[in-house]
Amino acid sequence: MTDVTPPEPLMPQAEAPQHVGGLRIEQLDEPAVDTVAINVSPTALLQHCPEVVWVSLHDEVVVYVTATATSHVLNKQAGLLWQCFDGESRLDEILADISDVFETPYDVVLTDSVPVVAQWISDEMLEEVDDD
């Protein structure tokens, strides 16, 4: 009988967050840019960039940015956040809804989500909508 070893995962697996009863959005790797330099207003109105195509697969969302020929795999929590950016709901409204649904303090959701949103803006996945 041959011993078959399962292949290594293509992406490193993130350790489960120790945040009980709440939402925790974590990135697997360090951000490619300094997200502190990207100012994301809590009242920003955001939508998916037109150069983006995405699909929901099981518990993940796969996002492909045609302009840069890059793809991103979002975990369940990040995928939920991603699907909320419709260009009609403000970031603070989206985060308040997530806070309510997951019974997590708004400040925690805001702190966990803004760096991810800033990275998505930097990666040309999201853009701000002019609400004039």
Asked whether residue 42 is domain-assigned, the answer is no
Give the CATH number of the domain where residue 106 resides: 1.10.10
* Domain count across the chain: 1
| Within-domain flag for 106 | yes
Phi-psi region of 58 (alpha: psi -120 to 50; beta: other; left: phi over 0): left
Q: Which residue is associated with the tokens 């009863």?
A: 21
Domain assignment present for 23: no
pLDDT of residue 132 exceeding 80, the answer is: no
In 3D space, the residue among 131, 115, 132, 92 whose CA is nearest the CA of residue 27 turns out to be: 115
Question: What token pair was written down for 46?
Answer: 């955001």
Taking the C-alpha atoms of residue 98 and residue 55, their distance in angstroms, rounded to an integer, is: 21
pLDDT in tens, 75-125: 999 999 999 999 999 999 999 999 999 999 999 999 999 999 999 999 999
| The pLDDT value given to residue 39 | 85
| Residue owning tokens 């925790």 | 24
Q: Work out the burial of residue 111: count CB atoms within 10 Å of its CB; fewer than 13 is exposed, 13-18 middle, 19 or more buried.
A: exposed
As a whole number of angstroms, the distance between CA 111 and CA 114 comes to: 6
For residue 21, is it within any domain?
no
Tell me which of 12-26, 44-58, 100-114 is least confident: 12-26
Cα–Cα distance between 14 and 44 in angstroms, integer?
Answer: 29
- Residue 61 inside a domain? The answer is yes
Q: Which candidate, 94, 7, 6, 12, places its Cα nearest to that of 46?
A: 94
Domain residues for 90?
A: 47-123
Residue 92 lies in a domain: yes
Q: Is residue 67 part of a domain?
A: yes
Q: How far is CA 46 from the centre of its chain?
A: 13
Q: Does residue 70 belong to any structural domain of this protein? A: yes
